[in-house]
Structure 1
């Protein structure tokens, strides 16, 4: 009888463990809510949905491996002209992506790209969320050029970027309807800024872009990834369009 009792208790514990495992596999409500409404901009296998600015082809310097899109500079080929942009245009959205950069690397994420032949590169019209490594510049203090800044326009509040070769996460919000933009880097909001109107124009007027025709004027534009002649990697690129 004692042996039977032990078996019953063991079976009960086993069932309890299995039940506990099933409960752990249930997606938490918060996670489920986060996933709702998000769309992949990168399928992890192809450049579907992307093209080189002003061109239909994509340089072989852009490659894909193990679900990661990356730029591998070739010293024998042209640099700086291989910026990728989305086929579609977007206005109000949140953009989520992981990135890492090479030592002393420089790149960025563009929003509001105006694709027009009179503008040679996205940089001429689109604000850039900076991606940069300053490993070999220990006294670097320009917050408008640190990772998460709107390059040359809005500086970050504090530097929370990980060192070169480590994955970082951006959550970028561009909301023209409510005139709100923000950059969250590694779960810390590092920049908050207007995206249109007088407040935005004032910021641009105080920057090097003040006399640049077409800079930061479009509300609907492409999203871009910058070729700045440095190794840079991206993965898990997702967008959630904001609706009324």
Structure 2
């Protein structure tokens, strides 16, 4: 009897051990596999013409001469997820793993762009850092994180973990924390595997391999890992590339420093609020400058490059003005200057008005020049980026990274347009050498953030 009981006990323990091992294995294989063993169904190639193949569950990318960066991308788009995979890379290559990336006809003719988890086998060893392909460049580097730099294994399989939840992206390389980014530029996109383009003198045929690619999209908080890295928050902050290229914040995201009312010596006491890193003009039913009024920079700017993120509400009207002289038009209404129009084209009547057809639509030079009708505008409730470049008399308006109009201040054509517009009463309108930057109070709720300028 004792032998029988002992035998039963041993069988029970063995079964428990088997179940325990199975559970542990399942824990390491969470989520859905993104590749099959023998084909790339669910993926497609974009960008360059690097060679991609798959065998025994391993994707191989191979460099090719005379072609730009290449990507094999998931057909499905993802927002919040936990992604895990392994890669092995040739020591002479540069590569990356794209997350929340996109390819849209209106952005650089479909160029792949978005967050990239770096694969960097060079001496710099920034593998696991976060780069933004074809946009802002480096967002989170490893220059001050020696432990993360040492996590990469040369000529071996490396394990990557990425957690993307809301505005937070965290990465690990071989279990070592490598990046902690807070950024809300792109909430959704595809996963992609990059083969970087090579120089003409480089030998083609270098390879990178990926395997065990799995993604979780449910119950993410239950599987999220804590991280002791100090986060980099890009909201109302400058990126590494921006700092190195001379950009400065025009609004600090917290205070009214550097700004005042267009007709005041201080910032308005009503009509504008600063909350959660947003500068918001409140609604007063569409009355122009009826509450707090316009706000302007305390400093004057001549040649400059300006970027402003803005989010409109349904039917909203506002604008970003430049070369503003607040001594002009002391009466009712807004201060006078060249205006990058902000408007809900679908729901505000101004979209069909203007001295020149279409010149009051979003991103247009207000009342003077219509922006490209095929402009890449994002819908109400989403963030758009206004970008103005003014050097000498040449001015360009960009919307979400795409140029939508350009013109020359002060030439014969410009002065003719002004003479036919609401600005005809002001001599040499728009021809100041320097002026203030203005955010308009047009009585509709509009939010602003990431306001930055580079003097040229």
SS at match of 1:233: strand
Per the TM alignment, residue 19 of structure 1 is displaced from its structure 2 partner at its CA by 7.5
**Aligned pairs (5 A) from 1:1-244:** 22-25=126-129, 30-31=137-138, 32-35=240-243, 36-57=245-266, 58-74=268-284, 79=290, 82-116=293-327, 119-120=330-331, 123=334, 125-136=336-347, 142-158=357-373, 159-176=375-392, 179-213=393-427, 215-242=429-456
Per the TM alignment, residue 115 of structure 1 is displaced from its structure 2 partner at its CA by 1.8
Residue 103 of structure 1 contacts residue 134 of structure 1 at CA under 8 Å; is this kept in 2?
no
Per the TM alignment, residue 65 of structure 1 is displaced from its structure 2 partner at its CA by 1.2
Going from structure 1 to structure 2, the CA distance change for 1:116 and 1:163 (only over 3 Å counts) comes to same
Per the TM alignment, residue 41 of structure 1 is displaced from its structure 2 partner at its CA by 0.4
Going from structure 1 to structure 2, the CA distance change for 1:181 and 1:87 (only over 3 Å counts) comes to same
Q: CA RMSD in A?
A: 3.2
Per the TM alignment, residue 169 of structure 1 is displaced from its structure 2 partner at its CA by 0.6
The structure carrying a bigger strand percent of its residues is 2
- Count of aligned pairs: 227
Q: Identify the residue that residue 231 of structure 2 maps to in structure 1.
A: none
CA distance in 1, matches of 2:394, 2:324: 18
* 1:153-209, Cα deviation, whole Å (9 max, x unpaired): 011112432221110011111112xx2101110111111111234343222123232
Higher relative contact order, chain-length normalized (CA < 8 Å, sep 6+): 1
Q: Which runs of 5+ in 1 are unaligned?
A: 1-12
CA distance in 1, matches of 2:131, 2:119: 17
TM-score (normalizing by structure 1): 0.80
CA distance in 1, matches of 2:367, 2:335: 13
TM-score (normalizing by structure 2): 0.45
Residue 284 of structure 2 contacts residue 291 of structure 2 at CA under 8 Å; is this kept in 1?
no
Going from structure 1 to structure 2, the CA distance change for 1:80 and 1:174 (only over 3 Å counts) comes to farther
